A and B are shown apart, each in its own frame.
Chain A
Amino acid sequence: MSFNYELIRNIDWFKYMSLSDAGSKIIVGFTVVFIGLILLVTFFSIMGLIFKAVSKSSAPKEEKKKAKADKKNSEKKETVAEKKEEPAIPLPVVEDGISDEIVAVIAAAIASMSDGETRYAVRSIKKTRNVGGRPVWAMAGIRENTSSF
């Protein structure tokens, strides 16, 4: 049994879009995609160079500032240390019924929200009573959802 090649030859392969039409669309399409993304490469490469240059020029200044501040702090510390020892931070006054784990969670939450430079100390932990008949968390939620209106 031989294969009927005539059958394949008679199929109108490019029935609705000719080969030249498809070819030209492919070339134009691929080129435009590349041009678009090359424009973006150029833009962001230049932007990257500018930001790199800016961060390099500001880095020595920041370093100088930091070094100055460190020097000042160490000098101050030395003088304070000479006068008397730094007072220890007092332990927080915790209301009965609040476990150590809750104290640790509150301290961790404050630490995570702080900017790293300012030092905070937990002085006391008290249970808050309901405000206006609403639990305090419900009040916080209402405030968060309505503050922008």
Chain B
Amino acid sequence: MLQTFLDSIVSLWEASGFAALTWKHCLMLCISFVLMYLAIKKGFEPLLLLPIAFGMFLANLPLTHLAVVDGGLGEGLLNVLYTGVRLELFPPLIFLGIGCMTDFGPLIANPKSFLLGAAAQGGIFAALLGAAASGLTPEECASIAIIGGADGPTAIYVSNQMLNGGFSVDGTPFTLSVGTIAVAAYSYMALVPVIQPPIMKALTTKKERQVVMENLRPISKTEKVIFPVAVTLVVSLLVPAAAPLVGMLMFGNLLKESGVCSRLVDTASNALMNIVTIMLGVSVGATTSADTVVNWSTLKVILLGLAAFSIGTACGVLFGKIMYLVTGGKVNPLIGSAGVSAVPMAARISQKVGAEANPTNFLLMHAMGPNVAGVIGSAVAAGVLMAIVPH
């Protein structure tokens, strides 16, 4: 009887998650706890970081089979939810909601802000070179590079396209997952207040930071209605691969600016976006199982992602300096750093650093121009990456 009792205990132990727990699982569980702490206690992008962290937590519980495997073609709840990412459905829907909430007025009032949004994408292409030099496949390089766009849905969209199938075009297996890219992208976006100010201060003089910019001209409703249609037309014709993201962003904005679809705007920017955010976050987090994340490539993602973000900020500020010189000191170079997207945090940082140099200066509205231009710029850069990197 004692033997039967002991056998039962042993078989119960062997069937439990404790027996299957490895150090890699423990490491990933600890990382998920840290991310949960940062989201809840520190308020780091909690709407996405918390679902991602919990997805990571679920995926690393041994024997539960909750991890998203085979690019979302596996079985189980989270694999089913991941279908929305695999079929490129969720990121454009998030962009629809963002479009409904974004005011492109400052950008229309000062179209030159588009250039700052383009310059700040320099981080993406610098990271592409760095990733290529670290011996990663072209698809992995593009996935890491897009972190420099500082746009979560775009990063998920591109990395899903690039890493879909699990193998490179030459048959090399990927060592990265979409979840790793997403976690890095959202972490760096949350760290904007830490990463950007030192770079902004290092590249500008106090005199430049004190520049007070002229008031923006008022924008008519007609201009606001023309804007989304024109942007979709130009971007989609130039880079068709960017059309799903830019198209949905601008569709959402047209709904908002038309003023006749308030119910649709309400749904797209609240209920729909929240539902998609929950499914996107938890399923993307579940791609970070210990087997796919604990490797050297993750370290490369962390380092190159940080480099991409920093270089993007630097490119924006440097282009801002060029505009400062060309306009005879009418443009404050600090608004350039907002070109990395990360709406509206990056614009707030421009305001904060500007106010430190001149407390009477209000750069927020001026920085919102490059900030929303960065969203368009990163979507265009994503389309370009998908077009030039074979996958």
Contact = CB atoms under 8 A, between A and B. Distances in A.
Contact of A25 (B117, B239, B376, B389): B389
Contacts of B194: none
B120 to A, nearest CB: 10
A7 B372 CA distance: 46
Contacts of B129: 22-23, 26
A103 B211 CA distance: 49
Interface in B205-252: 217, 220, 222-223, 226-227, 230-231, 234-235, 238-239
Main secondary structure of the interface of B (DSSP, over half): helix
A16 B172 contact: yes
B108 A32 contact: no
- Pick from A15, A23, A25, A44 the residue with the most CB of B within 10 Å: A44
Contact of B135 (A15, A19, A34, A36): A15
B336 interface: no
Interface in A9-54: 11-19, 21-23, 25-26, 28-30, 32-41, 43-45, 47-48, 51-52
B157 interface: no
B311 to A, nearest CB: 12
B135 to A, nearest CB: 4
Given A28-B388, A45-B111, A13 B133 contact: yes
A35 B238 contact: yes
Contacts, number: 121
Contacts of B49: none
Given A36-B235, A39-B234, A40-B111, A16 B385 contact: no
B121 interface: yes
Interface in A78-99: none
B138 interface: yes
Interface of B: 107-109, 111-112, 114-115, 117-118, 121-122, 124-126, 128-129, 132-138, 141, 168, 170, 172, 217, 220, 222-223, 226-227, 230-231, 234-235, 238-239, 373, 376-377, 380-381, 384-385, 388-389
Interface of A: 11-19, 21-23, 25-26, 28-30, 32-41, 43-45, 47-48, 51-52, 55
